Structures are given as structure tokens and as C-alpha cells.
Amino acid sequence: MSANIGSANLIVTYLLKHDGTVAIIESVRREPELTPEQWATVSGIEFREAIERMKKIDPLVLCSATT
């Protein structure tokens, strides 16, 4: 999944488990990627902390599609 966050995109990749009924966050990244200097700023540190919190979200149980 991707979402626009200002001048960048936040891309979250999920890993499906248990026959596709459970999704866990596999990775979270930003495009374009931040430079080392940007990661060192207050906003870069806050962004990194937010990514770490997202990675700790409990697995998502997916509902079956209705037909």
C-alpha cells in the first residue's frame, strides 16, 4: 500500500500468512528515501520512531470477500 505524505510516498508492504487470512507489516519505507542528513534531523528521528511503532502493530485478520 502507498500513501502520499507531502512530497513523498509512504510504502507499506504486508506479508500474508495462514492462507492469506492474516497480514503482518513486512516493511515500511519512504520514496524518495531520506538522506543520512535528513535522518539525523528531528523530523527524521520522529519518522524513524513512527516506522518502528508501525512494525509492532498486531497482525491484521482479513475478512473473506463477499460474493
Residue 59 has what pLDDT?
92
Residue 8 class from Cβ within 10 Å (0-12 exposed, 13-18 middle, 19+ buried)? middle
DSSP conformation class of 53: H
> Can you give the C-alpha Rg of the chain in angstroms?
15
Nearest CA to 34 out of 25, 52, 46 is that of 46
Asked if the model's pLDDT at residue 11 lies above 90, the reply is yes
Mean pLDDT within 38-65:
90
% of the chain beyond a pLDDT of 90: 67
**Domain range summary for the chain, segments of one domain joined by +:** 2-61
- pLDDT tens-place string over residues 23-43: 999 999 999 999 999 999 999
Q: What is the mean pLDDT of residues 52-65?
A: 87
